[in-house]
């Protein structure tokens, strides 16, 4: 008898637990929200800067209503919210997931553009890029990744509303990557590593021939080859420098620091 009662008690507890799983979670205020309601609340949170809560709402929306435009829009907004939060890995993961799932989505051009922005600047807002730090002194990997993303927009979606800004940012990034090589070349020159200095400066000239940094790169090549006793190479670099920059400021100690840095192109 006791054994039977124990079995009945166990069954009752199991049924009770199962039933609880079927009931709506009364602690979740969104439990009975429709897809439009969830999306509207998520957008309100994001517009007011509540990115964490917005992401939670978007994720609930995608889970409960996995098919249709609301779920797809939620996926894009999740990526943007992570970007605004300065959460670069999470933003890139969300972007890549969306592109993989919806390669022909009418707004996939925006996701490529957003990928460029995330790599272009890994801070909370794109406008934080206007800080005093010269971004060319950073690791150039993110710049290359950003360039590739913006190039995708320009090449694959030439009529996209994001194409003009992508082109502008590509021009900037070319300058930034060239200047990075020049920073490294200058560092080697100051430390007497003349072969490395000449090689890095030459890389900047060859890969980014239209960038402003080419002037300094040619000067570094000239100085490095002179120190190495490579007179012919020195004279070749000087000839190109004089032809393209006949009044080069680097003959007189370098450029005067401008009130507005070249990289602040907004």
CATH number at residue 94: 1.25.40.10
For the chain, report the end-to-end CA distance as a whole number of angstroms.
84
Domain count, the chain: 1
* Within a domain: 81: yes
* CA gap 201, 207 in Å, rounded: 10
* Within a domain: 151: no
For the entire predicted model, the pTM comes to 0.72
Give the pLDDT confidence of 181-214 residue by residue, as tens digits: 999 999 999 999 999 999 999 999 999 998 889 9
Helix intervals (H) in 23-140: 35-47, 51-64, 69-84, 88-101, 108-120
Print the domain residue range for 83. Answer: 32-101
How many other C-beta atoms can be found within 10 angstroms of the C-beta atom of residue 40?
13
* Within a domain: 188: no
How many other C-beta atoms can be found within 10 angstroms of the C-beta atom of residue 168?
13
**Which residue has better confidence, 68 or 149?**
149
Give the pLDDT confidence of 2-13 residue by residue, as tens digits: 555 555 555 555
* Within a domain: 186: no
Task: Tell how far CA 84 is from the center of its chain.
Answer: 11
């Amino acid at each position: 008898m006791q054994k039977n009662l124990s079995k009945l008690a166990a069954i009752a507890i199991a049924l009770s637990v199962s039933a609880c799983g079927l009931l709506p979670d009364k602690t979740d205020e969104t439990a009975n929200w429709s897809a439009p309601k969830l999306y509207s609340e998520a957008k309100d949170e994001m517009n007011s800067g509540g990115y964490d809560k917005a992401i939670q709402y978007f994720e609930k929306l995608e889970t409960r209503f996995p098919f249709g435009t609301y779920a797809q829009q939620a996926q894009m907004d999740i990526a943007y919210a992570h970007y605004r939060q300065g959460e670069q890995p999470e933003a890139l993961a969300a972007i890549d997931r969306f592109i993989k799932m919806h390669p022909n989505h009418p707004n996939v051009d925006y996701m490529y553009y957003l990928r460029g922005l995330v790599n272009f600047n890994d801070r909370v807002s794109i406008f934080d890029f206007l800080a005093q730090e010269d971004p060319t002194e950073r690791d150039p990997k993110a710049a290359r990744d950003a360039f590739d993303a913006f190039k995708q927009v320009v090449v694959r979606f030439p009529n996209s509303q994001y194409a003009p800004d992508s082109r502008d940012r590509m021009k900037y990034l070319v300058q930034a990557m060239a200047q990075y090589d020049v920073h490294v070349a200058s560092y080697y020159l100051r430390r007497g590593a003349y072969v490395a200095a000449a090689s890095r400066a030459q890389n900047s000239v060859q890969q980014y021939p239209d960038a402003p940094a080419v002037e300094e790169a040619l000067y570094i090549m000239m100085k490095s080859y002179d120190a190495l006793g490579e007179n012919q190479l020195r004279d070749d670099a000087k000839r190109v420098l004089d032809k393209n920059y006949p009044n080069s400021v680097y003959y007189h100690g370098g450029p005067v620091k401008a009130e507005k840095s070249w990289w602040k192109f907004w």
